[in-house]
Structure 1
């Protein structure tokens, strides 16, 4: 490994370690996979270590998966739960003999594999970066009591989180002098950006999109409630149409609820591909999210890049790329979110202002920029490991 004068690393060999990875679908899974590919395109060598399986084959032999070497340690638990405390010795052996320059550990709400991986990498003296993709909120006392994050900081790990809000929560469980960087998720701006020649979609109807997993933490019931409240606030002569895409255990119940109540302007089509979601954004006007514990908001960033006006909760990770009255509207309550949707339905000039800004000004989280920030974190990890 060589350190260039301007502070980047050349030819880094990176071990990305995460409980969750593709083919599971979720924010961490997709982001770790995208990071791996973009690091390689930037000239680095990447291997992924994960407790997520890949179907019925439970072999732990490293395999090339779409150009990335993946080490899978699937214990075969029901539902494919990515937990494997037995993997530690083999992970240690492979990290020690793999010629890695840095370990990059990715933390979720519950991440036993990642916790073991961080402890193992630091025990080997391997420069280690740790990124939290979650909100440490009510569980903060437990994290402080366990003390693993504080110990990592003391041993030289470079700590980060995906947003300023998430980083603030991490800072509360480590020594006060610890630096917790913001290392955002990335997006392929060119892929999501709305083509300049594409015709505007007329209003009405105001076309609303939400994209999320249908799980309680994402508050899909509250989302439906606020959409219905917005309908009450908007004059009947202005049509609304909403598509809430995504799948999960809550979806079936919501579909039944809408059918029983005779709500035909909200649809829940289930899971869609990235291309289908992008195309849906391009023919829509507004993206809305009711999530409160949103460490970042990848779906919101995709919508912002595609040129939609955003309606999201204040105090979430999305605050890093949503400016009130410029790229979107923020609110502290569900009623406030409903009122924001109603404002956009009834104030075409405001809607057009937000859309035009998001179409004209790309977000700062473009992958080439995020890769540079990530490599800077690797350099910080290397420097902190050298000091100790």
Structure 2
């Protein structure tokens, strides 16, 4: 199948959507499909593993869709798969163009609308009015799908999970290390790094002082300077901020880590938490997001409703060695359902369902 993946944001910018679209493209290629990524994200040098068409843009906003319309109208694509957040003009334009060209389109929402929000649900509903009836909406988790169905009650919303290759994360842990808490996030208000610092401070108060603790917050973003100042002001010298790390560096760090905290209340899926779970870390996450699709209470970790509860549970885990080791062993040796073979199968089934001519006896293209 010839697939156009469209995302406003893409590598070399780093983030959940950026990494997922790249990994999805690679995995689809390995499954025998022809894939091109369309993005408004500029780059100094082109990627080599995935064909990418970088459209003219200003500050990440596309300035023209002429090239996009010409490419999608060339007859070289069987389907458009647009990846959208709450503000994704390129992905929305691609879906409108696909509608005009009568080209099948799938739209995946990667962000979780707030339950009491008004503006963003209104915006999604407004955008959808320009999409034809054949456009298929999907979401990265059941939690996002549930919210989206409320916004678009006339649409059937399926789930297309993010995927993971567990193998690189499933490495033998370092035996001798201080109890270590980690969290990986883009340091933005939405990810709640300030609440994470409050939680870490609460954990330190709850864990006996004679037990050494280490915390590592991985990531960069607009809140980085503020987070650094708070750590210094509060004397949290046991909290480290290494900045942005590569996947390999994160994997190496997780070898000597124990508990992963996911403090965001609007986490649409939680790829970073899934990676930590595969690395054998016990995960404590907010129950309001999508992490609950691969973390069950007392099995892979715990889901909580407040940051006070997160501190309580994390402190209990750090002082209950048998329970902590039980969760870690389960996570390290039990693969989640979101492995890439399963996720690619779900994507191809969704793509094929949009094209009746291909629904019977479809074989992937090797082009």
**Would you say same fold, with TM above 0.5?**
yes
Closer, same or farther in 2 for the Cα pair 1:141/1:287, shift >3 Å?
Answer: closer
How far did 1:136 drift?
2.3
Matches within 5 A, 1:205-244: 205-244=178-217
Aligned residues: 356
How far did 1:312 drift?
0.5
2:179 pairs with 1:201: no
Deviations 1:63-87 (A, max 9, x none): 6x32322111132x3xxx3211x42
How far did 1:140 drift?
4.4
Unaligned runs of 5+ in 2: 360-367
Pick aligned residue for 1:102 from 71, 79, 99: 79
Q: Does the aligned pair in 1 maintain the 2:141–2:269 contact within 8 Å?
A: yes
Runs of 4+ aligned structure 1 residues displaced above 4 Å come to none
1:171 alignment counterpart: 149
Matches within 5 A, 1:305-344: 305-344=278-317
2:348 alignment counterpart: 375
After the TM superposition, which of the residue ranges 27-36 and 93-102 deviates more from structure 2? 93-102
How far did 1:200 drift?
5.2
The separation in 2 between residues aligned to 1:175 and 1:381, in whole angstroms, is: 20
Q: Does the aligned pair in 1 maintain the 2:82–2:108 contact within 8 Å?
A: yes
How far did 1:168 drift?
0.9
1:52 alignment counterpart: 41
Q: Does the aligned pair in 2 maintain the 1:310–1:328 contact within 8 Å?
A: yes
RMSD: 1.9
The separation in 2 between residues aligned to 1:103 and 1:199, in whole angstroms, is: 42
1:25 alignment counterpart: 14
The separation in 2 between residues aligned to 1:49 and 1:142, in whole angstroms, is: 26
How far did 1:144 drift?
5.7
Deviations 1:21-56 (A, max 9, x none): 11111110110011101100000000011111113x
The separation in 2 between residues aligned to 1:45 and 1:145, in whole angstroms, is: 32
The separation in 2 between residues aligned to 1:142 and 1:339, in whole angstroms, is: 37
Q: Does the aligned pair in 2 maintain the 1:207–1:240 contact within 8 Å?
A: yes
Unaligned runs of 5+ in 1: 1-11, 58-62
2:47 pairs with 1:74: no
The separation in 2 between residues aligned to 1:164 and 1:305, in whole angstroms, is: 20
Pick aligned residue for 1:161 from 139, 147, 153: 139
Q: Does the aligned pair in 2 maintain the 1:212–1:299 contact within 8 Å?
A: yes
How far did 1:257 drift?
2.1
The separation in 1 between residues aligned to 2:358 and 2:68, in whole angstroms, is: 20
- Report the 3-state secondary structure (helix = DSSP H, G, I; strand = E; otherwise coil) of the residue aligned with 1:68: coil
Q: Does the aligned pair in 1 maintain the 2:302–2:313 contact within 8 Å?
A: yes
2:323 pairs with 1:350: yes
Matches within 5 A, 1:291-306: 291-306=264-279
The separation in 1 between residues aligned to 2:233 and 2:56, in whole angstroms, is: 42
The separation in 1 between residues aligned to 2:270 and 2:25, in whole angstroms, is: 20
How far did 1:242 drift?
0.4
In the superposition, the TM-score normalised over structure 2's length comes to: 0.92
2:101 alignment counterpart: 124
- Report the 3-state secondary structure (helix = DSSP H, G, I; strand = E; otherwise coil) of the residue aligned with 2:6: strand
- Report the 3-state secondary structure (helix = DSSP H, G, I; strand = E; otherwise coil) of the residue aligned with 1:363: coil
2:128 pairs with 1:149: yes
